[in-house]
Amino acid sequence: MAANAAAAGLLAQGQHNHKGALLEAAARLRVAPPPAFQLVDTQGPPHAPTFTVRVVSGAPGGGGAPVSVEGVGTSLKAAEHDAARAMLALPQWAAAGGPNPKGELQELVMKGRLQALGVPSYELPAYESEAWQGPAHLPVFVERVRLRRRAGAAPLAATGEGGSRKAAQAEAARAMLQLLLEVSEAEE
């Protein structure tokens, strides 16, 4: 099924604007200093250059020295995106939650990229509280996200836990993105 393969490819890529995702995450996490991109090297003939870009940024959560990684591409933009992707793959960025999973999920639905899996583009993800547990000073929220599918197909649901409803919803969205990837691979 070519449609499912295309959906799996889009899901596997996740957010392909890595530079935007890095800058968004840095702003949300108040990273200081913020990511800065600099051209390190240009090699190759004028008609087929290869660019090397370095991105330098503080670590999420503060503490520690600034971190730098390099990226390579056939254009300056491609090299910046490669460097941003490498930065987001670092353990300190992955542990910080990376890009906005709720936004990614909503974008996949609204742009119709999940229609091959039976999710209509007009049906936004629905979040609902499942439970609240733990002591008042250290609560744990459990949130569920659901995606309705066309008639005859079971809805998709995933849950997430967090110290706030917002964090639990983000974890639920992250779990849903993983579930969508698994479902698209199974339906191929």
Give the chain's domain count.
2
Render 37-95 in DSSP notation, one character per residue: EEEEEEES-TTS-EEEEEEEEPPTTS-S--EEEEEEESSHHHHHHHHHHHHHHSHHHHH
Q: What domain range is 137 assigned to? A: 100-186
Q: What is the mean pLDDT of the chain?
A: 81
CATH number at residue 30: 3.30.160.20
Q: Are residues 90 and 104 in the same domain?
A: no
For 125-151, the pLDDT digits (tens) are 999 999 888 888 888 999 999 988 877
Q: Is 174 inside any structural domain?
A: yes
What is the token pair recorded at 111?
């742009």
Q: Are residues 28 and 57 in the same domain?
A: yes
Query: What pLDDT does residue 87 have?
Result: 87
The fraction of the chain above a pLDDT of 90, given in percent, is: 31
Q: Is 4 inside any structural domain?
A: no
For 84-127, the pLDDT digits (tens) are 988 887 767 655 555 678 887 887 888 777 777 777 777 789 99
Q: Cβ distance 34 to 51 under 8 Å? A: no
